């Protein structure tokens, strides 16, 4: 796959099939991930691939608790505002993400594979997130959808460490739990604020000198439908 296709179409794919991810595909994802850079090439990371249904069954209720905390805590006002103005495009977009995120929570134990990423001495996460994103890009190349999640480490760190047998006293922090599965929906170019609206040239606030109203990468394959019944907006 063209690298730009992977970069443009790797999005949060939260609706996935239960089919297992073959071991050789898992190996390619993991091996691509650990090629990523880390500060000083310290590679101060560990990964746990989780596909055991018993372990996933323990994680499901925990993840749902985390998402419930998110909706009733940090996202409460935003959610209430969106629900009060559902026709506003920003509200509609937020509500689509919320429904999609809740769908993942409701079916968490059905996700066939998780990649748990742990880092040490990396408060900013700058040495672990390149590897995490590489794993997601590699998965895209394999036709495997992924969603980066962080709530388990944020809200249920101790419980998650216990379930996974992670030593609690050696400085490891959980950076992310990436969910992997073959998507039921279709791939598409990620909708983002255009580059020229978020970039400057030479000094802060100075026009970047380019106007990019539409994504520079497009390809008919990006919209090839895997399942017409599952709208892209509800991934």
Ligand X SMILES: Cc1cc2nc3c(=O)[nH]c(=O)nc-3n(C[C@H](O)[C@H](O)[C@H](O)COP(=O)(O)O)c2cc1C
Name the site residues for ligand X (rule: CB under 6 A).
11-12, 14, 97, 101, 104, 147-151, 190
* 114: enclosing H helix or E strand: strand 113-119
Compute φ and ψ for 162, nearest 5 degrees: -65, -45
Token code pair at residue 63: 């993840």
Which of 127/149 has CB closer to ligand X?
149
Which of 30/232 has CB closer to ligand X?
232
Closest distance to ligand X from the beta carbon of 204 (Å): 24
Please say whether the beta carbons of 50 and 114 come within 8 A.
Answer: yes
The one-character DSSP state at 200 is B
How far is the C-alpha of 69 from the C-alpha of 96, rounded, in Å? 19
Which of 11/15 has CB closer to ligand X?
11
Of 137, 118, 107, 142, nearest to 26 by C-alpha is 142
Sign of CA pseudo-dihedral 15, 18, 24, 29: positive
Closest distance to ligand X from the beta carbon of 23 (Å): 26
How far is the C-alpha of 195 from the C-alpha of 9, rounded, in Å? 16
Closest distance to ligand X from the beta carbon of 203 (Å): 28
Which of 21/132 has CB closer to ligand X?
132
Closest distance to ligand X from the beta carbon of 149 (Å): 4
Q: Burial, 95: exposed, middle or buried (Cβ in 10 Å; 0-12, 13-18, 19+)?
A: middle
Compute CA distances 189 → 9, 48, 97, 118, whole Å.
5, 29, 16, 29
- Give the CA dihedral 60, 66, 67, 69, nearest 10 degrees: 150
Which of 71/172 has CB closer to ligand X?
71
Closest distance to ligand X from the beta carbon of 185 (Å): 10
Which of 191/216 has CB closer to ligand X?
191
Closest distance to ligand X from the beta carbon of 97 (Å): 5
């Amino acid at each position: 796959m063209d690298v730009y296709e992977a970069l443009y179409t790797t999005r949060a794919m939260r609706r996935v099939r239960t089919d297992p991810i073959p071991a050789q595909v898992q190996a390619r994802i993991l091996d691509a991930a650990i090629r990523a850079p880390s500060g000083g090439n310290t590679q101060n990371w560990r990964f746990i691939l989780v596909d055991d249904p018993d372990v996933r069954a323990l994680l499901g209720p925990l993840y749902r608790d985390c998402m419930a905390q998110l909706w009733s805590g940090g996202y409460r006002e935003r959610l209430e505002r969106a629900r009060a103005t559902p026709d506003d495009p920003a509200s509609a977009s937020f509500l689509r993400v919320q429904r999609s995120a809740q769908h993942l929570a409701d079916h968490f134990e059905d996700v066939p594979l998780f990649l748990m990423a742990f880092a040490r001495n990396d408060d900013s996460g700058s040495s672990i997130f390149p590897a995490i994103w590489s794993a997601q890009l590699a998965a895209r190349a394999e036709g495997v959808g992924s969603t980066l999640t962080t709530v388990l480490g944020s809200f249920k760190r101790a419980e998650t460490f216990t379930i996974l047998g992670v030593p609690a006293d050696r400085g490891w922090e959980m950076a992310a739990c990436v969910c992997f599965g073959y998507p039921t929906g279709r791939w598409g170019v990620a909708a983002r604020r255009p580059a020229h609206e978020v970039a400057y040239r030479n000094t802060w606030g100075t026009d970047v000198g380019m106007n990019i109203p539409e994504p520079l990468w497009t390809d008919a394959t990006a919209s090839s439908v895997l399942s017409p019944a599952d709208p892209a907006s509800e991934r």
